[in-house]
Structure 1
């Protein structure tokens, strides 16, 4: 009987601890996802600003290029073209990385309800096990021998608690 009470108390403590850990992890994951989404939005806005600045730069410098002599204009245009190509490649790579990141975040968000559901199912099963253990304890207490053992254990437990 003492072992049953001990097991019941241990299971109750483990259940409470695991449930608290689950909810803490759930909140932490939600916070991380929110933080990453904010970073993603900032990055996207920065990328749009950079593209607008490049267009402005190109339009501002087109008049200057015409004023230069042909040789210098060609060299400058080649350099600008190389820079634009490199920037376009970098932008494309960034967009691809952002898409992959967004996809991973979407997958993580899709899995979250399943994980939560599994944890809830485990919690429900555990609660049923605890209820069964309590029912067993109650039935054992009601039996004559069980009542005597329960009274002895209760006295010992009360002494230990004090």
Structure 2
């Protein structure tokens, strides 16, 4: 049987501060970690409140960092990024603030680049099937259908 970790509020604050200083974290991620460490109820909320007051946790900053990382590195679209933030229980206000990190021109260029790259890898001779596969790929990455179809139609003209 695994030994259960039990920490005091003071230890929770210290461990929480270290945990948050490694990378941006959402309140929910920190809350889950504190429960995992053996703190419960009011203890967890006390530690979370302290971490927020000391600026270790900042949901706006987290949302901006999440959006930048997932767009620039993973090449995710707005839909998938928004869903990821909602799963982490980020407020709508912070999500909107974070989404401003995506430059419209970069977003359009990313769609075009991903589409061209995928288009070269699809070997199907049927143009209809090739279009479907390319569109499905970009939709899966979280890009909006109207933008994807517009680019696919430009590519095949």
Q: TM-score, normalised by structure 1?
A: 0.27
Choose between structure 1 and 2 for higher RCO, CA contacts under 8 A separated by at least 6 residues: 1
- Compare the two structures and name the one with the higher helix fraction: 1
